[in-house]
């Protein structure tokens, strides 16, 4: 079950539809333990930025009021189907992380999983996240990040980035996202570095930043 928010989308471009279909088949089982630990105790109003096909919906508590801000309109039908299977009511909006159409200090938590690689302006997006969070609210994240500087994988990430962005909907594999989060002005940041088996984007971070 879902209700439309501001900016109700159309079907999207052919590229957006193809990308949504591909994302719907992506295996994210390697993230399950982190998702259970990070998303399982989020209550109140939760804003998820770039929820994709709604793969995280199953991890949220039943009492969470979930708002999904998904810029790709072709993802919305997948989210609606995922919500329907779970018997959840969700609120879908179309927009950008750098311009959140929500009041100041209006949400209890903001979530991003595999999103900060593709936003146009990470610093602006994090400013918006801090703006809409209530005092003490949490920004929860799981993101793939750049390999260590001067490593062979880092050189590969930088070399392949132009092509990777085209086929990955703007994804940049060599972003030091952990540093941007740590510099964003949160009162505290706790994160861990871990790796998955996927080539090119094996290095990841997961954690919580508190306003």
Q: Cα 98 from chain centroid?
A: 13
In the chain, the number of structural domains is 1
**Residue 168's CATH number:** 3.40.50.150
| Beta carbons within 10 angstroms of residue 148's beta carbon | 11
Question: Given a cut of 80, is residue 5 above it in pLDDT?
Answer: no
User: How far is Cα 206 from Cα 140, in angstroms, rounded to an integer?
Assistant: 8
Give per-residue pLDDT as tens, 176-197. Answer: 999 999 999 999 999 999 999 9
Distance between CA atoms of residues 9 and 75, nearest Å: 10
User: Residue 64's domain spans which residues?
Assistant: 2-210
Residue 12 is predicted with a pLDDT of: 72
Q: Cα–Cα distances in Å, from 13 out to 19, 20, 58, 126?
A: 10, 11, 28, 28
Higher pLDDT residue, 97 or 28?
97
How far is residue 56's CA from residue 82's CA, in Å, rounded to a whole number?
A: 9
**pLDDT reported for residue 144:** 96
Instruction: Please state, in angstroms and rounded to a whole number, the distance separating the CA atoms of residues 54 and 98.
Output: 21
């Amino acid at each position: 079950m879902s209700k439309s928010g501001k900016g109700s989308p159309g079907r999207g471009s052919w590229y957006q539809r193809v990308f949504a279909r591909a994302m719907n088949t992506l295996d994210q089982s390697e993230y399950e333990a982190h998702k259970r630990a990070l998303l399982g105790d989020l209550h109140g109003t939760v804003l998820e930025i770039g929820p994709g096909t709604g793969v995280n919906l199953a991890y949220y508590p039943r009492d969470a009021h979930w708002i999904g801000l998904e810029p790709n309109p072709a993802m919305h039908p997948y989210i609606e189907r995922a919500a329907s299977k779970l018997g959840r009511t969700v609120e879908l909006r179309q927009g950008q992380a750098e311009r959140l159409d929500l009041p100041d200090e209006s949400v209890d938590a903001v979530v991003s999983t595999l999103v900060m690689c593709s936003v146009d302006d990470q610093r602006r997006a994090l400013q918006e996240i801090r703006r809409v969070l209530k005092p003490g609210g949490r920004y929860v994240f799981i993101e793939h990040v750049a390999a260590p500087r001067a490593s062979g994988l880092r050189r590969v990430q930088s070399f392949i980035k132009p092509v990777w962005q085209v086929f990955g909907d703007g994804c940049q594999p060599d972003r030091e996202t952990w540093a941007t989060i740590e510099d964003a002005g949160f009162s505290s940041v706790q994160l861990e570095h871990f790796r998955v088996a996927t080539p090119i984007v094996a290095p990841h971070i997961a954690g919580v930043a508190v306003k």
